[in-house]
Amino acid sequence: MNSAKKLYLASSNSGKLNEFSAIAAEAHSTIEPALLPGFSEIAAFPEDAPTFAENAVGKVLHAAAITDEAVCADDSGLVVPVLGGPGVHSARYAGQNATSAQNIEKLLHALTGRKGKERESYFICALAVAKSGRVVAVITNRADGIILETPSGSCGFGYDPVFYFPPIGKTFAQLSSAEKNLHSHRGKAFRRLLEVLPGML
């Protein structure tokens, strides 16, 4: 077996590291995720591009400037087609420093009176990897669901409590970490990245 290759995450979020590490272990990957040393010291990247992929690429090139090692950045969010959003503004849908509860409240208000297909939605995740200042991979994936009228479940984060996933009859906030890694947009995107990345590093 090849020796493990480090993949530094452009993040200081240990929860994200745990999620990606669990997926890599389950996939028996030679890629070993780790938090990027010094990430918390660099200036925040303004995620103001119109697409998730562009934000991920901008973020990874910004972070990769401090190392020659492989770095991964992600951008993800919720899309409700009937609303045309919130999309890349998901985290700040109800305002720059909005809480998840405030974002959910605004979303449910915007969908008042909407039924059936009008409540269809999807989470999307874009992952970008750069090494030595050059982008080597961009992967996107999605998970399709329906926005409930009231939140359900206490796990997860963000819009998970109102995102109902029909294939297993639960919201993302009702899933265990292992279940969510299997079905989520981020989990699917990262597993695909693990398939293609070893030959690129």
Active site residues: 75
Residues 6+ apart with CB under 8 A from 149: 108, 111
Sign, CA dihedral 95-98-104-106, equals negative
Find residue 36's DSSP bridge partners: none
Q: How far apart are CA 26 and CA 74, in angstroms?
A: 20
Contact 27, 33 (CB under 8 A): no
Q: How far apart are CA 15 and CA 76, in angstroms?
A: 15
Contact 77, 87 (CB under 8 A): yes
Residues 6+ apart with CB under 8 A from 47: 55, 58, 59, 75, 88
CA distances from 105 to 50, 102, 115, 154 (A): 24, 5, 17, 16
